[in-house]
């Protein structure tokens, strides 16, 4: 096989691998149904939640001054039992019906900077029970719920959504209740 043929085979393989692991947000996103409080059920490890203990919550509300902006308030207690809160905003990247947002927790006076924003893509939600949030580079993943624990079948569906979009769910950090639910499901 000559070098050009080998290069072509490698490129096609890379394209197929990238396509198989492509992250796709939902295209029928309804922001009004998404608003409110969500509990973190599981997440990929990240530095900004290292000290958090359950319950970890995120509350989303609309900005009355800007309909294309969400107000985001993340809360948890630290391992030292001190409250920790992050106030931020999320913006739609494309349109309001595509679950592709960017979020920032920079202070208001620094939000004009071209950095400090993270991808927040809604990969799945039924709005009443569960949501799967991820980043297109597979670096961040959250499974959120309207309550502190999920039923086994709902958790398994959320994990399947994440796996099908190329996320390594073996690395997830679960809150104590959902971790127990998952262990019970695997032992049955």
Residues with Cβ within 8 Å of 27's Cβ and at least 6 positions away in sequence, in order, are 97, 98, 99
pTM of the full predicted structure? 0.84
Q: Quote the tokens at residue 100.
A: 């592709």
| Whole-angstrom distance, CA of residue 131 vs CA of residue 86 | 20
For 89-109, what is the mean pLDDT? Answer: 93
Q: Is 161 helix (H, G, I), strand (E, B) or coil?
A: helix
pLDDT 10s digits, 8-66 = 334 434 433 443 468 999 999 999 999 999 999 999 999 989 889 989 999 999 999 88
Please say whether the dihedral angle defined by the alpha carbons of residues 18, 174, 45 and 121, taken in this order, is positive or negative.
positive
CATH class, 24-187 region: mainly beta
Confidence band for 141, pLDDT divided at 50, 70 and 90? very high
Q: How far is CA 130 from CA 10, 106, 142, 157, 188, in A?
A: 39, 27, 10, 10, 23
Inform me whether the pLDDT recorded for 152 exceeds 80: yes
């Amino acid at each position: 096989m000559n070098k050009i043929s080998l290069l072509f085979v490698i490129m096609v393989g890379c394209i197929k691998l990238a396509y198989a692991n492509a992250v796709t947000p939902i295209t029928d996103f309804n922001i009004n149904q998404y608003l409110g409080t969500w509990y973190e059920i599981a997440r990929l490890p990240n530095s900004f939640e290292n000290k958090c203990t359950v319950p970890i919550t995120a509350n989303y509300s609309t900005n009355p001054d800007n309909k294309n902006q969400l107000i985001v308030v993340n809360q948890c207690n630290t391992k030292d039992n001190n409250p920790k809160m992050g106030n931020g905003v999320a913006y739609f990247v494309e349109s309001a019906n595509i679950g592709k947002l960017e979020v920032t927790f920079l202070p208001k006076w620094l939000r004009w900077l071209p950095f400090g924003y993270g991808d927040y893509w809604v990969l799945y939600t039924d709005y009443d029970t569960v949501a799967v949030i991820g980043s297109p580079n597979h670096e961040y993943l959250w499974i959120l719920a309207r309550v502190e624990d999920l039923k086994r079948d709902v958790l398994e569906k959320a994990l399947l959504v994440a796996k099908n979009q190329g996320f390594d769910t073996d690395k997830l950090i679960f809150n104590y209740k959902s971790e127990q639910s998952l262990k019970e499901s695997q032992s049955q």
